[in-house]
Amino acid sequence: MTFQIQSFRMLTNLLIVLPIFALILTGWIARKSGALGPNATREVNRLVVYLALPALLFDIMANADPAQIWEPGFILAFTGGCAVIFGGTLWWRLAKGRHLADASIDALNASYANTGFVGFPLVAAIVGKTGLGPTLIATILTVCVLFAIAIILIEGGLQQEARRRDIAIKTFRSLAKNPLLIAPVLGALVMVSGFPLPAPVHAFLKLLGGAASPCALIALGLFLAGTSSGEAKQRLSTAGILVALKLVAQPIVTWVIAAYLLQLPPASTHVAVLLAALPTGTGPFMLAEFYNREASLTGRVVLASTILSIVTISVYLAVVGA
């Protein structure tokens, strides 16, 4: 009976992440077959960064219910897990001599949970509707707050070559023009104002924002199809550590914070740990490609963590008896 339950859980996890593999494979086939050329990766990614993802971020913030997203205990637990892993990975990569921009993307690889594409269907299947509120909170914290912190660090790192007095000015100018930061801020202003978005505007944002995840996954497949195997082998060890940090270390740290430090109810702790155990989302890959950093490492972390999360999440569910 126990074996059957575990098999069912692994099958559920597989069915949830299967569309992710299908979209990555679609991009890979399109590049290998010549249907899309060598410049397609960058152009598709620019579509995501400048249009689809800003629309999604604005829509998430503008339509969030302040009462629904105000769960201080859950926010502290999930944010704490992200912060420890992000900060620890950033320190480790900087100590290894990595550029601040690259180290920031590596830190994002180890802490950026795929709450949107995997989190909602997984939590709905395992926890039910009661877990969708915390999942929305985790999505906002991940794709808005954590993403914004990484962008600020990347922009600051890219200005390090300038004179010290010019760094702050140039960084601020770059951030002020970044649609991935402007969109959630504007959305938050709409949320605070209390005015609902007109139906046509909401429909437009849903259509445009809905393209963000599929296009980002196709762009990842396009990129992986153009990466040499020799280049990939050089980064396997680092990718393995980042995947372990994401799938093992982050849920453990989140569990310690939620269960022992904050002493949250078991249900809240379970949802926080489950969301922390999700694989790496496409956000780090989009930033690596957009800023022309080391995207091959990021691409493999996204792919490997998604595959391995089928096993690690199933093991977690077996341990807690969910």
Angstrom distance (rounded) from CA 102 to CA 100: 6
Please write the tens of the pLDDT for every residue from 30-54: 988 888 888 888 888 888 888 888 8
- For 85-102, letters b (16+ CB in 10 Å) and e give bbebbbebbbeeebbbbb
Give the model's pLDDT for residue 77: 95
Instruction: State which residues of the chain have pLDDT below 50.
Output: none
pLDDT of residue 322: 54
What local confidence, expressed as pLDDT, does residue 4 receive? 58
What is the Cα–Cα distance from 60 to 136, expressed in whole angstroms?
Answer: 9
- In the numeric block, the tokens 């944010």 are attached to 79
Q: What is the pLDDT of residue 64?
A: 77
Alpha-helix runs per DSSP H in 96-160: 100-111, 120-126, 132-140, 147-158
Look-up: residue for tokens 């497949």? Answer: 221
pLDDT at 179: 80
Classify 36-210+228-320 by CATH class: mainly alpha
In this predicted structure, what is the pLDDT of residue 250? 97
* Domain definitions of the chain by residue range: 36-210+228-320
- Per-residue pLDDT at 42: 83
Q: Looking at residue 287, what is its pLDDT?
A: 86
Amino acid at 270: H
Whether 312 and 277 have beta carbons less than 8 Å apart is answered as yes
Query: What's this model's pTM, rounded to 2 decimal places?
Result: 0.81
